[in-house]
Structure 1
């Protein structure tokens, strides 16, 4: 299920809408440029919204084509890393958009948040006995941590 919300001031100023999605009763804002219909959230849900460390996964034709590893606050991506075929895009997010900022400390915090999110999801899969997914996300956590070296 997807919804499209246009915030009046935001829409008038930027001429854009924020895409919202719901997965398993948990609402979240979809990162800019993603198709809301094929996005799933792996993480906690508080008051009906994705919240805390976790992973957004965008699917196309049944295959994951991009990830957001990081922290969502009340359904909004806050800080983290988008991982796609084009590479990594890291930083803070506002209304689903990556905020342009090349400050090294912001990038370090984004990769740290992303690594912790991937590790948290690995732990969730490990607790359910899904060793393959746990191993996959542990590898992602390691790769994200290595970006900070």
Structure 2
């Protein structure tokens, strides 16, 4: 069985075990599998994702907003840099489309891959974002950051 299929099955089993399988949609092709969930937080919609491929790298990402007001870009970049200096594993990103993301990698070969670890990392990432960082972005951007997904 291909490495990608093994990892997919392990994530699906972990989601079932944690009673989360109905929360995630799966988008797949020959090269990647994307588990995604849209979660409401305060007045915003957060897109949670686990991206699997054949490599040893699994990317766990939360898309939590967008920079609409360019005049706030320097403040957001300063905050992203500050948070990235504090958090050793989680990385905040303002991408070229002015989308706000936070990511954590899970590095594991398929024979050592553990779906529970991936789900635990997603939960920890969500908790860190909502408890420690989200409000700081909202203070700068207000409701303009809210996703229209």
TM-score for both structures, normalised by structure 1: 0.31
Larger helix percent: 2
Larger radius of gyration: 2
TM-score for both structures, normalised by structure 2: 0.31
Larger strand percent: 1
